[in-house]
Amino acid sequence: QVQLVQSGAEVKKPGASVKVSCKASGYTFTSYYMHWVRQAPGQGLEWMGIINPSGGSTSYAQKFQGRVTMTRDTSTSTVYMELSSLRSEDTAVYYCARGPYGSSSGFDYWGQGTLVTVSS
């Protein structure tokens, strides 16, 4: 069965960076794009970007350009999302989600989420 298992909660100081992992299993890792989505406390979902696990190409929402880096390790079927220059507004639950680049295929499986708290 398809599973996306994310790394544990993080507490970071303003200005620091955080790297969240998402380990995939139960399917061919390089055959599906992976997205990152975040949700601030009490707020809605926000799409951050996408990575192609096959070639490593990425595309980021304009809001996060310059601060986010998405990478992958095909040997461990893991994608990573690193967010730098953290500020309090980055406190949120970060999710990985399997989904299409832009086609009729659907978003389907989600990770359990990783809480990132930014606090001095």
- Could you give the 3-state DSSP secondary structure of residue 111? coil
Part of the chain binding another protein (CB under 8 A), chosen from 10-18, 22-30, 76-84, 97-105: 97-105
Residue 80 is a binding residue for another protein (CB under 8 A): no
* CB nearer to another protein: pick between 17 and 105: 105
Residue with tokens 């949700």: 39
Smallest gap from Cβ 22 to another protein, in A, equals 12
Residue 37 C-beta-side C-alpha neighbours within 13 Å: 19
Residue 119 is a binding residue for another protein (CB under 8 A): no
Residue 54 is a binding residue for another protein (CB under 8 A): no
Residues 6+ apart with CB under 8 A from 117: 9, 10, 11, 12, 91
Residue 46 is a binding residue for another protein (CB under 8 A): yes
Residues 6+ apart with CB under 8 A from 2: 24, 25, 26, 27, 98, 108, 109
Q: Interface residues with another protein (CB under 8 A)?
A: 35, 37, 44-47, 50, 59, 61, 95, 97, 99-113
